Structure 1
C-alpha cells in the first residue's frame, strides 16, 4: 500500500465509534507524545480509563491540551470518538488559526466487526452505548466531507514528515522509472568527534575514505577560522580549510576537493590562486575553488581583518573572479582590476586541470549575475520552489548547485531514533527534523529528484551524523545512471 505523507506540523482528528480501531491505528503510526487520548486523560483525572464519572473532567482537560499543543504548532493526533460536530469544528478552527493542516480520519468499520471486537474486550462498552455510537457514526461520516478539512481519509499507511518530503514519494517513483543523474558533495562543517584533537587526522582520513566508498563525487569544507554560530560554539575545534583539503588530497583518490566557500576578504587573492593551483597539482587535478562575499564580521574582528562595506566586497569579488583564471593560465601578464593590482601573475606549476572550476556561493541578484558572468557554478540554499526561481533567473548561464543539511535514516524508525538522539533538548522533534531535512532513504531520493528537476546539477549535503554515510550511499546509488 502506498504511504501517505502529511506535512509537519498538522492536526489529525480520529472519528469513529468505539472498537473501530482508532487507538490501535494511531499507536502504530504516531509516537505516544503526539496522541491526545480521551481514555488516557480519563485515567489521569479519574480511577481509570473506564471511569465514566470522570468523562466530563477528562474532556475538559483534552480541550485544554489540544488548545495548548496547537497553539505551539505541535503535531496533534486527537484520539477520541470524534462524533461531536461542535468539538470537531472547534479543533479545525484552532488548526486554521495556527496555520496548520487538519485532516480527519474516518473509521468506517462494519458494525458487526465493532460489536465482535467489543465482546472480546476485558471491559466492554455497554451494548446500547455502542449501538448509539454506530448510529451517530452513520450520520457523521456524511458530515465530514463538508466540514472543511484539508482531507478526509480512511485509515491507511500514513506518516507525518517535514514539508520537503510531502511530495517526495511521487518524485522517488519518477527516479526509479526514468533515472536522472545528480552529483553529490559532502560538506564538512564540524570537526567535533569523540577522539579529540589527537585523533583528528585519523578521523579526517576515515571520513574521506568512507565518503569515497559511499559514492560522493566531492568533499567540501567551510572556509572559516572558528566555528560559526549556526553550527556550534566559537571554541570548538575547527580546522583551516585549504590545509585540510591538502590532507584530504593524500587520503583520497577520486573525489573533487574544494571550499564552500572561501571568503574573498580572508586572503590576498593572488595567494588564494596559488593555494588552489597547488592543491590541484597535489590532488591530481581535483581542486574546486569556491569563493564568496564573506559575511562573518565577528570572525574578521577576532582575527584583526578589516570587514569592508558590502559594495567594496562585491568589487573585490568581481576582480577576484577575473584574476584567478589569469593566475592559472600561462605567462605572467599583469592584472589591473577595479580594486586589485597584480603586477606579475606568475603561478607555476599551473593547475593540472585545463580549467580549474570556480564556484560562487550566494543567491542574491548581484551575486548571481557575477556567477553567471565569470564562474562555472553557483551554490544556493532553499526549497524546491526557491531553487526553481533561481534557475529561471540564471537561464542556464551557470551550473546550479545546492547546499542543505541532511539527516538520512534507513527507514522511518531509524529517522525517529536519529532525531531523538541528535536534537537539542530545547527543540521539539518536528522542528529539528525539518531543520535538518530528516527523512528516509526514499524520502531523500524524492527530494533530490525534485531538486534535479528544478535545475540542480550537484547537491552538497552537511550530515549531522557522519555515521549515516552508509544510508546516504543508498541515496547516491539511486542517481548513478
Structure 2
C-alpha cells in the first residue's frame, strides 16, 4: 500500500460513523500528541469515554484545543465522528486562517462491518445511535468533496513530512526505475568529544564517510563556531590544517572548504595552501571561496571587515588570480584590489585545473561564479536551485547544493532522532523541516529532484554522524 505524505503542519479531519476505524487508523499513523480525540476528552471531563453526559463539555474542550493547536500551526488530527458540517467548516476555516493544509479522511466502512465491530466492543454504541450515524454518513460522504478541503482521502498509510518530501515518492520511484548518478559530499561542521580525542574522532568520521561512499569531505572555514551551529567557545578546528590531516587519513575522497572566506587570508597564500593540499593528497583538493559574512569573527581576531562592495571586488580578483597562480610561470597579476608582482607557485597542483567552487546564492555572487568558477554551491529547494541556475549564464559550470540532512532508516527511527536531537522548546515539526528530516526513501526522492534541477553534487551536513549508515543507503541508490 502506497504511503500518503501530508505536509507539515496540516489539519486532518476524520469523518465517518462510529466503529468505522477512525481511532485505530489515527493511532497507527500519528504520534499520540497530534491527535485530539473526543472520546479521550470525554474521559477527561467525565467518568469515562462512554460517559454521554459529559459529551457537551468534551466537545467544548475539543473545540478549544483544536483552536489553540491550529493557532500555533501544529499538526492536528481531529478524531471524532466529524459528521457535523458546521464543525467541519469551522476547523477548515481555522486551518485556512493559519495557512495550513486541511484534508478530510473519509471512512466508508460498510454498515454491516461497523455493526459487527460495535457488537465486539466492551462498551457498545447504542444500536439506534449507530443506525443514525450510518444514515447521516451516507449524506455527508456525498458532500465532502465540495467542502473545500485540499483533498478528501481514503484511510491508508500516512505520514506528516516537511514540505520538501511531500512529492518525493514519485521522484524516488523514478530513481528506482531509471537511476541517475549524483555525487555526495559530507560537510563536517562541528567537532565534539573534547580536544584529547579530536584527532581520533576526525579520522574515524573521515574513514567511515569514505567507506559509506561519499565522494568528498568538506569543512567549514571559520576560526570559532558559528552561532547557527553552536557556541563560540566550542572546539573548532582550523580548516586547511584539518584538510591536510584528512589527506593522510583517506585515500579517495576529494577535500575542500565550504567555503573559505576571502578576507581570512592573503589570496596568494590561500592559493599556495590549496596547491600544497592537492599535491599531498594525490590531486584531491577543491578550493572553495566565498564573500565572508561573519563580522563578529573578524572583530574577535582583529581583522578588518570590508564593506560588501570591497569584498565583492576582492572575490572577483581572487577568482581571476588563483588559476594564474596554479599555472606555469610567474607572471604578475594586477586586479581591482590585488597586486601580486610574482605568481610563482611550485609545486603546481597535480590536477590540470584545481576546482574553484564559489559559495553563495546572491545574484552578484552567482554572476561572478558563472564567469570564473568551476562550480557554485547553493541552498534551498528545487525552485531556488532552478532560479539560481537561470542566473549563472551560458558558461558551463557545475551546480552543487548544501543542506542539513537528518536521515532515518525508517519513519520510527526518524521520529526518535527528531525527538532526541531537537533543542529544548523547539517544535519537533519545525526542527524536522529545518534539518530536512526524512527516511532513506524520502531523501532518495529529494536528491533525485535536485539532480533533475541540474545539481551535480549534494553536500550534506548530518546532525547526527551516527546516521552515516543510513546515508550510505541513500548514496547507493545513485550508484551504477
Matched residues in 2 for 1:122 and 1:12: separation? Answer: 28
Matched residues in 2 for 1:385 and 1:363: separation? Answer: 13
Matched residues in 2 for 1:395 and 1:121: separation? Answer: 68
Matched residues in 2 for 1:458 and 1:30: separation? Answer: 34
Between Structure 1 and Structure 2, how many residues are aligned? Answer: 479
Q: 1:461 corresponds to which residue?
A: 460
| Matched residue SS, 1:92 | helix
- Within the candidate set 372, 377, 380, 1:379 is matched to 377
Q: 2:41 corresponds to which residue?
A: 41
Residues 86 and 225 (structure 1 numbering): CA distance in 2 closer, same or farther, change over 3 Å? same
Matched residues in 1 for 2:110 and 2:32: separation? Answer: 27
* Contact 2:203/2:249 (8 A) holds in 1: yes
Q: TM-score, normalised by structure 1?
A: 0.99
Q: 2:242 corresponds to which residue?
A: 244
Q: 1:266 corresponds to which residue?
A: 264
What does the per-residue CA deviation read over 1:129-188, in whole Å, with 9 as the maximum and x for residues that have no partner?
Answer: 111111111111011111000000111111110000011000001111111111000000
Q: 2:440 corresponds to which residue?
A: 441
Matched residues in 2 for 1:200 and 1:401: separation? Answer: 29
Q: 2:100 corresponds to which residue?
A: 100
**Pairwise CA distance, 1:447:** 0.2
- The 5-angstrom pairing of residues 75-224 of structure 1 reads 75-193=75-193, 196-224=194-222
Q: 1:480 corresponds to which residue?
A: 479
**Pairwise CA distance, 1:78:** 0.1
Residues 314 and 345 (structure 1 numbering): CA distance in 2 closer, same or farther, change over 3 Å? same
**Pairwise CA distance, 1:90:** 0.1
Q: 2:324 corresponds to which residue?
A: 326
Matched residues in 2 for 1:253 and 1:85: separation? Answer: 65
* Contact 2:370/2:393 (8 A) holds in 1: no
Matched residues in 2 for 1:339 and 1:395: separation? Answer: 25
| Matched residue SS, 1:382 | coil
**Pairwise CA distance, 1:341:** 0.7
For structure 1, which segment, 286-295 or 323-332, has the greater mean C-alpha deviation from structure 2 after superposition? 323-332
Q: 1:10 corresponds to which residue?
A: 10
* Contact 2:367/2:393 (8 A) holds in 1: no
Matched residues in 2 for 1:169 and 1:271: separation? Answer: 47
For structure 1, which segment, 43-52 or 298-307, has the greater mean C-alpha deviation from structure 2 after superposition? 43-52
**Pairwise CA distance, 1:396:** 5.4
**Pairwise CA distance, 1:472:** 0.4
Confirm or deny that 1:347 pairs with 2:345: yes
Confirm or deny that 1:359 pairs with 2:357: yes
Q: TM-score, normalised by structure 2?
A: 0.99
For structure 1, which segment, 384-393 or 309-318, has the greater mean C-alpha deviation from structure 2 after superposition? 384-393
**Pairwise CA distance, 1:391:** 1.5
What does the per-residue CA deviation read over 1:318-369, in whole Å, with 9 as the maximum and x for residues that have no partner?
Answer: 1111111111111111111111111111111111111100000011111111
**Pairwise CA distance, 1:2:** 1.1
**Pairwise CA distance, 1:393:** 2.5
Confirm or deny that 1:294 pairs with 2:307: no
Matched residues in 1 for 2:138 and 2:467: separation? Answer: 49
What does the per-residue CA deviation read over 1:403-425, in whole Å, with 9 as the maximum and x for residues that have no partner?
Answer: 00000011111110100110011
Matched residues in 2 for 1:367 and 1:395: separation? Answer: 12
**Pairwise CA distance, 1:392:** 2.4
Matched residues in 2 for 1:173 and 1:110: separation? Answer: 33
Query: RMSD in angstroms over aligned alpha carbons?
Result: 0.7
**Pairwise CA distance, 1:55:** 0.6
Q: 1:411 corresponds to which residue?
A: 410
Matched residues in 2 for 1:372 and 1:114: separation? Answer: 64
Matched residues in 2 for 1:391 and 1:305: separation? Answer: 34
For structure 2, the residue ranges without an aligned partner over 5 or more in a row are none
**Pairwise CA distance, 1:67:** 0.3
| Matched residue SS, 2:114 | helix
Matched residues in 1 for 2:363 and 2:427: separation? Answer: 35
